Amino acid sequence: MKTEHVIVTFRDYLRQHKEDRNIYSSIKKEMALKYPEDIDSYIEGKQPAILDIYKKCGLL
């Protein structure tokens, strides 16, 4: 699967699903505050939400 397809599908899903968009936004903010100097932990902290959205929009 092409990276561009994944990015566009993820973006479009969030644009159309306000509740999931708000949850993802909150998690991003929480991880940014928790790990301001640790990008790996920031990414790892977002992973469960990202995978959940991938499942919902058919990427997994």
Q: What is the pTM of this model?
A: 0.89
What's the pLDDT score for residue 60?
A: 93
Nearest to 19, CA basis, from 45, 49, 59: 49
The two tokens of residue 8 are 């566009």
How crowded is residue 24: how many other Cβ atoms within 10 Å of its Cβ? 19
Distance in angstroms (rounded) separating the CA atoms of residues 58 and 28: 22
CB 34 within 8 A of CB 44: no
Query: Considering the chain, what percentage of its residues have pLDDT values greater than 70?
Result: 100
What's the pLDDT score for residue 28?
A: 98
Q: Residue 41: pLDDT above 90?
A: yes
Specify the number of domains making up the chain. Answer: 1
Nearest to 56, CA basis, from 3, 22, 12: 12
What average pLDDT does this structure show over 37-48? 98
What's the pLDDT score for residue 57?
A: 95
Q: What is the domain extent for residue 16? A: 3-56
Q: Residue 3: pLDDT above 80?
A: yes
